Amino acid sequence: MSLLTLSRKSLLNRFSSIAITTIAIALSITLLLLIERARVDAKASFHNTVSGTDLIVGARTGSTELLLFSVFRIGHPTNNLSFKSYQDITSKRSVKWAIPLSLGDSHKGFSVIGTNNDYFTHYRYANKQNLAFSKGHAFEQVNHVVLGSNVAKKLHYHLGDSIVLSHGAGNTSFHHHDDHPFKVVGILAATGTAVDNSVHVPLVAIDNIHGSTMPSISQKHQADEHHDHDHNHDHHDDHQHHSEQRDEHSKLPALSNAELTGQPKQISAFLLGLKSPIFALQLQRNISQYKQEPLLAIMPKFTLRQLWEVVGVFEKALLVISGAVVVIALLGMLTNLLASLSQRRRELAILRSVGASPRTIFTLLGLEALLITTCATLLAIAFYYLVIVLLANMLGSISGIHLQLMALSQYQMSLLAGIILLGTLFGCLPAYKAYRYALSDGLTIKV
């Protein structure tokens, strides 16, 4: 029988009180692991929202505001910038690609984004990942709509469905545009970013929603639907002769990106990808000093970091609090071990009589603390994965976010190692006390 067996049996002898102590520690560790995971996930999804974009340009406002509405789809642009400025800036030589964004409308609580097909080609998130279609394809006609994964899931929309978009960002809008239905042609794969909660329409259609202009081309495409608008925009007319039949329902040729963009007066913001990141600073300065109208350009990475410094404080505070909970639980173990010690002096004297040295007694008691914290840690890992699995099922059905069952991060591992170390260190106190007893009592049994 080894010392370890002896410790284990001694612990099992005091099963109920040790079990409660162990569970308390395990729960506190579970909490710590979950909070750490949530912290990392929140930070990752925050930083992963946009990537590969060198500059975001909007009308002059706060840089956080610009980031929030353009990338997180939180809040509204207070000012728009003229489409002319967009064309001017995007024509610069250092610009590789640009994505125009028009925001401010909503559909059943989800924000509606006017953009063009460059969005689906160039928008990147996480580790420079492109957007992917889980079903369907990008815009081909003015009345096409591409949904974020969460929108499709929550509103039960499928390819081919007709939906009606309203003006204004509220959940309920009295100003419905029943006369401009859109057709769902694409559903994006989940990204875990605000894209999942966005409804994408061609930029040119934003003006249609507002009822100001209506390119004639859309009118002709939608002849089979209840359309009676009579706007004329003949600069698209030559395209209707295309014989390409990519959309089997409308059987009309796909429009070019320029046609999908149209000629709006204003847009809310645009994302820029540059040929080389070294142009970013120079271009940012140029845009800030843009003569025609006051503009603001931000580097999303930099602004994200600034914003996180504010948001991240709460996350860190939560982690510190849960760390304190673990320490309190370990103190509970210490109390338990110390309290049981006086009842165990007999046990210690017997062990001394068969030749256990005071150091062995110390090791024995230290082992008990190590065993308790190790068991608690293993239990906590089990609890943690149990919670993740349960939460994944729940979150999966509610929000479409997929919590992944991944191995513990290195930081989580080091947290666990730190806890075991701390627990064992705490265990040294009763162990030292037992060592003193072993020396002073010798073979005298003190009950």
Binding site for other proteins (CB under 8 A): 1, 9-10, 12-13, 346-347, 349-360, 442-445, 447
Nearer to other proteins, 19 or 163 (CB): 19
Provide the token pair at 61.
Answer: 């406002």
Nearer to other proteins, 179 or 441 (CB): 441
Distances (CA, A) of 394 to 33, 390, 398, 405, 406: 19, 6, 6, 14, 17
Residue whose C-alpha is closest to residue 196's, from 382, 430, 424, 395: 395
CB atoms under 10 Å from CB of 188, counted, come to 25
CB 423 within 8 A of CB 369: yes
Nearer to other proteins, 37 or 352 (CB): 352
Nearer to other proteins, 153 or 352 (CB): 352
CB of 388 to other proteins, least distance (A): 37
CB of 374 to other proteins, least distance (A): 20
3-state secondary structure the chain: CCHHHHHHHHHHHCHHHHHHHHHHHHHHHHHHHHHHHHHHHHHHHHHHCCCCCCEEEEECCCHHHHHHHHHHCCCCCCCCEEHHHHHHHHCCCCEEEEEEEEEEEEECCEEEEEECCHHHHHCEECCCEECCEEEECCCCCCCEEEECHHHHHHHCCCCCCEEEEECCCCCCCCCEEEEEEEEEEEEECCCCCHHHHEEEEEHHHHHHHCCCCCCHHHHHHCCCCCCCCCCCCHHHHHHHHCCCCCCCCCCCCCCCHHHHHCCCCEECEEEEEECCCCHHHHHHHHHHCCCCCCEEEECHHHHHHHHHHHHHHHHHHHHHHHHHHHHHHHHHHHHHHHHHHHHHHHHHHHHHHCCCCHHHHHHHHHHHHHHHHHHHHHHHHHHHHHHHHHHHHHHHHHCCCCCCCCCCCHHHHHHHHHHHHHHHHHHHHHHHHHHHHHHHHCCCCCC
How many whole angstroms separate alpha carbon 101 and alpha carbon 270?
5
Nearer to other proteins, 5 or 397 (CB): 5
> Which neighbouring-strand residues pair with 198?
111
CB atoms under 10 Å from CB of 6, counted, come to 17
Residue whose C-alpha is closest to residue 192's, from 399, 14, 351, 437: 399
Nearer to other proteins, 337 or 420 (CB): 337
